Structure 1
Amino acid sequence: MLVSIKALYFVKDKLINQTFNVMIKHVPFKFFVYSILISLVFACKNDTKIVENKYEIGADTINFQWQKLKQGGITINHGAILIPVTLEGIDKTFKMQLDLGINHNVIYGDTLAAITSAYPELQNNIQHRDGYEVFYNRIQFSNHQLAKEDSLLVRENFGKSENLKDFDIIGTLGANEIKNKILLIDFRSQQLVITNKLEDWEEDTFSFTPLSFKNNQLYLDLIAAGNKHAFVYSTQASLFPLATIDANLFKNITEAKNSETKQLKSWGEEISFAGSDITTKIRIANVNLPINNKKAFFTDAKKVSEVLKTENIKGVIGSDLFMNNTIMIDLVNNRFGIK
């Protein structure tokens, strides 16, 4: 069994100064990803034992959970990826969402208030900056692996403030946790691993395509209708398995029957998405993706099209297309692996 690591976070200008400008440098693109196709909801050594060229559940395995989300009348069974964590000085297991769309770990402000109310000494871990706060604490995953960063930006007026016993989701783990590392996600087993290096036999089991990671987004090629198309893979809760602004691509990979229309709000405007069943093979590298009962969606909304065209991409794909696969996000060798 191959084991594998990996809500809503809108960055407010008033919370971030020049230290964190990298997080808001490309706000228009991030707002597209988060407000339209993403559901609007809230360094370790690989020491796994190998038995007959398979992983055992070892010390570096992190089990994750799915959170079911709803948005605009759509239910997303595979919504947020939640990772069990503990904080130093607190005898309780929490959960944090892995979100590669942001560049820093985040803790929800109202939740932090509840934590410091129960553990007043942790108030000393909060540092005030120019317009924002940072909470310092060591995050430990369920496999006793320490998170790479010990600073969490405080997201004000967000989260829950009830009794500490009554909630468990406290924040978000960002892309900083996997930079210059390799992330494996085994969707079938709901297991994750972060590592620095893979075994040779393990690399041979994957099919690879180049991966570009910029603006905290994962850019890769989707092969459809005989051509390569640049897409963003969203590790968050994409509302649709595949969404595109390319009318010809949409027409070539779908059929008109069983079509539907979704209306979603973004920036105060209604955005219309037309969806139809995917009927033509689509793949990444040499691996065909499951398309049975999967729909692709198309929009020609001006704001959406303008933003994606600026980035030279055709659309966004979500994790729903990988439920039968294991994927590799390799930020050491800049490649995306799938098997």
Structure 2
Amino acid sequence: MKLFKKIAIISVTIIVLSLLGGYLYFQKKFTPPENYLNVSGTAENIPTRWISTNENSHAALLLPIKLNGIDKTFYMQLDSGSPITVFYKNSLESISEKFPNRIKIDNEKNKISTGFKIGNLNVISSDFEVLNYGSKIDFDNANAENIIGTIGTDLLEKRITVLDFKHNKCSFIEKIQENNFIDFEFKKRKILIPAKVDNENLKLLYDSGTSGYELITTKEAWEKYKSKTSAIKTEKGNSWGNTLAVFSASANKKIQFGNASLPLSEVTYIEGTSKLQNFLMKQSGMQGMIGNKLFLNHTLILDCKNEKFKLE
């Protein structure tokens, strides 16, 4: 009996250590690095630009920026699903060819030391990450969508963000009167907003990288929310080069954020996400993701530092 008892104790110990080790691994792997942005100034009423596709007129939200030392407007995607601001290597190399010695990528560490401006907002870092991604810059086309990187929630953590979707403008400011603001969670620089559908409390990740979708949820919830007679729209999505199958259907619901009630006219679910992504979604407690499309006629104000938001 003593032998069996020892074996049982050892087995339990191994399981506990394995679970703890797994927890610590995921905590380390998915905890963003320290916010390395040095931010000064503010940006007010910056005009935004939408990327359109055949299936989606609001596929991504772009902000005009200028790299330090280069008098040329480029664009970066505002992605509230990314905890860090990153640049695209292929795009930077293209800029470097035209402006020698202005950009120096540390290819060994995949880092770059540089800065950029959004209006009068200055963003500087010696540790911007560089992803093997992006396209060559079209310098001859004044209307080209020359996207050179992604702006993440590390910038949103440094400033109060005002997204005026009705007038296609964006501001990054330091102070605002926070009357009738609502609490939200800002965990690991992820924006988790409380909402209600059919009087059910939900925790939804605001991911502007899924810009053109109102609500992305599980297949089970999708079946529950969608109109029974709705046609199903199928399209291919892209997540950092990975192809996903995206299914959308019309809905006739209301989604509530505090006292603000918005029409929910479409719901979506995605196939092709990894088991790890699905596991992390469940662990976070969130029931879905919301993109920019839901807020097109409204203004969304996010104070990530103090975990407060308002929808107008």
TM-score range, shorter chain: 0.7 to 0.9
Q: Is the radius of gyration larger for structure 1 or structure 2?
A: 2
The aligned residue for residue 18 of structure 2 is none
Quickly say closer, same or farther: Cα 1:22–1:253, change in 2 above 3 A: closer
Deviation of the 1:318 alpha carbon: 1.2
Deviation of the 1:164 alpha carbon: 3.9
Deviation of the 1:67 alpha carbon: 1.0
Q: Residue 179 of structure 1 is aligned with which of 134, 144, 157?
A: 157
* Contact 1:69/1:80 (<8 A) preserved: no
Hey, what's the Cα distance between the residues in 2 that align with 1:97 and 1:314? 25
Give the secondary structure class of the aligned counterpart of 1:278: strand
Structure number with higher strand proportion: 2
Q: Residue 170 of structure 2 is aligned with which of 176, 189, 192?
A: 192
Deviation of the 1:306 alpha carbon: 4.1
Task: Point out where structure 2 has 5 or more consecutive residues left out of the alignment.
Answer: 1-24, 32-38
Structure 1, residues 293-337: CA drift from partner, whole Å, max 9, x if none? Answer: x21135698947544322222111111110111011111320221
* Contact 1:259/1:277 (<8 A) preserved: yes
* Contact 1:149/1:176 (<8 A) preserved: no
For 1:159, give the aligned amino acid. G
The aligned residue for residue 296 of structure 1 is 267
RMSD across aligned positions (CA)? 3.3
For 2:72, give the aligned amino acid. K
Q: Residue 101 of structure 2 is aligned with which of 114, 117, 121?
A: 121
Give the secondary structure class of the aligned counterpart of 1:240: coil
Give the secondary structure class of the aligned counterpart of 1:288: strand
Q: How does 1:19-38 map to 2 (within 5 A)?
A: 25-26=29-30
* Contact 2:66/2:117 (<8 A) preserved: yes
Deviation of the 1:288 alpha carbon: 0.8
Q: How does 1:1-339 map to 2 (within 5 A)?
A: 25-26=29-30, 43-44=39-40, 60-69=44-53, 75-123=55-103, 125-128=104-107, 131-141=108-118, 143-147=119-123, 149=125, 151-156=127-132, 158-161=133-136, 164-166=139-141, 168-199=146-177, 203-204=178-179, 207-238=180-211, 240-245=213-218, 247=220, 249-250=221-222, 253-260=225-232, 262=234, 273=247, 275-291=248-264, 294-298=265-269, 303=275, 306-339=279-312
Hey, what's the Cα distance between the residues in 2 that align with 1:264 and 1:163? 26
Structure 1, residues 184-239: CA drift from partner, whole Å, max 9, x if none? Answer: 1000111111122103xxx33xx533211223421111111112111111112345
Task: Point out where structure 1 has 5 or more consecutive residues left out of the alignment.
Answer: 1-20, 28-42, 47-58
Q: Which moved more, 1:252-261 or 1:97-106?
A: 252-261
The aligned residue for residue 18 of structure 1 is none
Hey, what's the Cα distance between the residues in 2 that align with 1:170 and 1:98? 12
Q: Which moved more, 1:105-114 or 1:304-313?
A: 304-313
Give the secondary structure class of the aligned counterpart of 2:51: strand
Q: Which moved more, 1:158-167 or 1:106-115?
A: 158-167
For 2:256, give the aligned amino acid. R
Hey, what's the Cα distance between the residues in 1 that align with 2:44 and 2:40? 8
Hey, what's the Cα distance between the residues in 2 that align with 1:272 and 1:133? 32
Give the secondary structure class of the aligned counterpart of 1:101: coil
Hey, what's the Cα distance between the residues in 2 that align with 1:81 and 1:220? 20
Q: Which moved more, 1:261-270 or 1:145-154?
A: 261-270
Quickly say closer, same or farther: Cα 1:193–1:242, change in 2 above 3 A: same
Give the secondary structure class of the aligned counterpart of 1:309: helix
* Contact 1:252/1:280 (<8 A) preserved: no
- Matched residues, percent identical? 23
Hey, what's the Cα distance between the residues in 2 that align with 1:280 and 1:322? 15
Hey, what's the Cα distance between the residues in 2 that align with 1:109 and 1:298? 31
The size of the alignment, in residue pairs, is 274
Quickly say closer, same or farther: Cα 1:208–1:227, change in 2 above 3 A: farther
Hey, what's the Cα distance between the residues in 2 that align with 1:104 and 1:180? 12
